[in-house]
Structure 1
Amino acid sequence: MFCWAQHFIAVQNIIESVKFKCLADDLCSEAVEFQVFFNDHVSNDFNTLFKSLPCDGQYFAAAVPGSFHGRLFPKASLHFAHSSYSLQWLSRVPKELLDKKSPAWNKGRIYYIGAPSEVFEAYSAQFPKDMESFLNSRAQELVNGGLIIPCRPVGIPPSQCPIIVTIDLLGATLMDMVNMGLVSKDKVDSFNFPRYNPTPQELRSLIDRNGCFSIEKMEPLVRKTGLENESKNQNHILHLRAAWEGQIKGHFGSEIIDELFDRYKKKLLESPIFSQSNKN
């Protein structure tokens, strides 16, 4: 998976920052050795990770499969934890969304955008539970004085958030396939994206309430998301497929995947999403 490159860049930035700090403050009398653990779900292709590792030998690498919502490491075994663009994913779809008798039954949609308020409330109630579990787990795993950087998409208005627009377009693609008789409507009605974008205020409140960590700094990272040429458009679409295919396949089966993403690709390329630069 090509997306591992982003993680390698993050690791390199962290290591270089630690080395710079050690040199600037004269903290280390000898070279510091680094052990890096890469985490992902058990279904991830870790062989691809190891084949793609940089050859400069700056650190020892290992993989730890499992959900970051729970414990992954022994107590007090980590000095630094970096969660890159992951905390928006919930540990599960809120159970209310799976009950046809519930006002949060999300019929004809795969996300909370444009859905009844009960759907959004179910999502917003699940996120604090998952965040509490994440913080408690990392608090046990980090040494005293350890640091954690949780990066996640900011909770900006849906119309201004490209990734939310792309999810909405995926839902529209699925409904097109329902109308063509290619996908069961019941399957779409029972499929929901387990993802929630918290606001900075929500995140601050949850961290303060948890009490295991103090916030040293909170700031937005602004990046352009407009994709101005065909090559970047294609790469972005491949990235979305790599990130979402397993989840979609697990619910709908593998038979529809190729046609779904072919149709989805056409919708994305026709959308203004690829000609706009927004915060994400």
Structure 2
Amino acid sequence: MAESESYPMNGGDGTYSYAKNSIYQRAVSNVAKDMVDEAIAEKLDVKSLTSNSNTLRIADLGCSVGPNTFITMQSVLEAVEKKYLSHGLASKVPEFQVFFNDHGTNDFNTLFASLPHDRKYFAAGVPGSFYGRLFPEFFLHFVHSSFALQWLSKLPEELLDKNSQAWNNKRIHYTSASEKVVNAYATQFTKDMKMFLNARAKEIVAGGMMVLLVPGCPDDIHHSQLSTALLFDFLGSKLMDMVNEGLVSEAQVDSFNLPVYFPSPMEMARLVEENGCFDIEIMELLDPRSNMNYAIDVHALIMHLRAGLEGIFTKHFGSEIVGEMFERTSQESAELSCLLDKSNKRNKLFVVLKHR
């Protein structure tokens, strides 16, 4: 098992819970749904996958607490079942087993309490970091991961070293930082992704498929143009306002950085090719707003951000400071909305890999 820091989303089903504030992740998954269905229909060789077993095993890595993971897993099952039926294999449709994975600190109680009663699969929880091995060799047939791989296994140590050129003072992310800071993040992502691919190369059967959905960055733009990066910068500016008012110490801000990285298609392709165990079937950037028939509600977006980040902020700054930070962010939603309107829209990296 790999050692990795844990950054769980807000559990439970309260006001600030991830379960009630993950609509934007769901919107991205909806944009990708037809592409996943098509990849399964055209690329997944169901005959060979289950030739020696009547069970098809699927894992969702970084599943959090639902309901998005249940919606996605049901969609994958339906696409696989449709593939069997389209090939005249109705009598060969396997039983399905779905493994829900996340760190041990994830709210698995909420996850399993909300499992769909009409599900057509056997469910199991697998606690642990996906940056290491989680399953036996050649065990899984299909792997899915959505909005999880952007979280680094740990923060690059040089960001907190005042003597390092990558010391990231007065900032909480690499958005507006020096290239040394950006490179430190990129180096850590490279290490993490290599571990992730090595582990999955051992766990997935030959011909098995992996679908990854990760907040990303186009090859031809600067990371400061990304909407999520702008959000992080905005949160950082609220913290610095509080430093100037004496509510937070500058040292507290200097010693905090968000362990999140947005890879480009070029970076991801290079790492997959270096691993050598997977063929890239699809790799492209999606615009999640293309499937939305409503305007983005900035207040809802801030709630979504809070559901995902409150835990890591609270651990460092305390709940009172974090509550104030998000309240100030909400009060300046008009300014934030203007920033987001100028951001790059094609910023979700969709990847389909097939095990050789």
Same fold (TM > 0.5) = yes
Matched, 1:220 2:301: no
Is contact 1:84-1:152 (8 Å) kept?
yes
Amino-acid identity (%): 50
Residues in 2 aligned to 1:59 and 1:233: alpha-carbon distance in whole angstroms: 37
Deviation at 1:276, TM superposition (A): 6.4
Gaps of 5+ in 2: 1-17, 23-65, 348-356
Task: Choose between structure 1 and 2: higher strand proportion.
Answer: 2
After TM superposition, the structure 1 = structure 2 runs for residues 1-280 of structure 1, keeping only pairs within 5 Å, are 1-2=18-19, 3=22, 4-156=66-218, 157=221, 158-224=223-289, 228=295, 232-271=297-336, 272-273=338-339, 278-280=345-347
Which letter does structure 1 place at the counterpart of 2:269? R
Residues in 2 aligned to 1:22 and 1:52: alpha-carbon distance in whole angstroms: 29
3-state SS, counterpart of residue 260 of structure 2: coil
Question: 1:170-200 deviations in whole A, cap 9, x for unaligned?
Answer: 1111111111111121110011111111110
3-state SS, counterpart of residue 215 of structure 1: strand
Residues in 2 aligned to 1:196 and 1:186: alpha-carbon distance in whole angstroms: 23
Deviation at 1:219, TM superposition (A): 2.6
Tell which deviates more after alignment, 19-28 or 134-143.
19-28
Deviation at 1:51, TM superposition (A): 2.2
Is contact 1:88-1:152 (8 Å) kept?
yes
Gaps of 5+ in 1: none
3-state SS, counterpart of residue 98 of structure 2: strand
Count of residue correspondences: 278
Distance 1:235 1:53, change over 3 A: farther
Tell which deviates more after alignment, 269-278 or 136-145.
269-278
Residues in 2 aligned to 1:26 and 1:98: alpha-carbon distance in whole angstroms: 59
Distance 1:39 1:273, change over 3 A: farther
Deviation at 1:236, TM superposition (A): 2.3
Deviation at 1:275, TM superposition (A): 5.2
Is contact 1:86-1:152 (8 Å) kept?
yes
3-state SS, counterpart of residue 83 of structure 1: strand
Q: Relative contact order, CA 8 A, sep 6+: which one is greater? A: 2
Deviation at 1:154, TM superposition (A): 2.4
Tell which deviates more after alignment, 194-203 or 24-33.
24-33
3-state SS, counterpart of residue 155 of structure 1: coil
Is contact 2:174-2:182 (8 Å) kept?
yes
Residues in 2 aligned to 1:276 and 1:102: alpha-carbon distance in whole angstroms: 33
Is contact 1:36-1:60 (8 Å) kept?
yes
Is contact 1:233-1:274 (8 Å) kept?
no
Is contact 2:314-2:322 (8 Å) kept?
yes
Is contact 1:268-1:274 (8 Å) kept?
no
Is contact 2:101-2:127 (8 Å) kept?
yes
Deviation at 1:55, TM superposition (A): 2.4
3-state SS, counterpart of residue 219 of structure 1: strand
Distance 1:39 1:165, change over 3 A: same
Residues in 2 aligned to 1:275 and 1:131: alpha-carbon distance in whole angstroms: 31
Which letter does structure 2 place at the counterpart of 1:149? V
Tell which deviates more after alignment, 23-32 or 191-200.
23-32
Which letter does structure 1 place at the counterpart of 2:216? V
Residues in 2 aligned to 1:267 and 1:59: alpha-carbon distance in whole angstroms: 45
Is contact 1:228-1:275 (8 Å) kept?
no
Residues in 2 aligned to 1:276 and 1:48: alpha-carbon distance in whole angstroms: 37
Is contact 1:39-1:63 (8 Å) kept?
yes
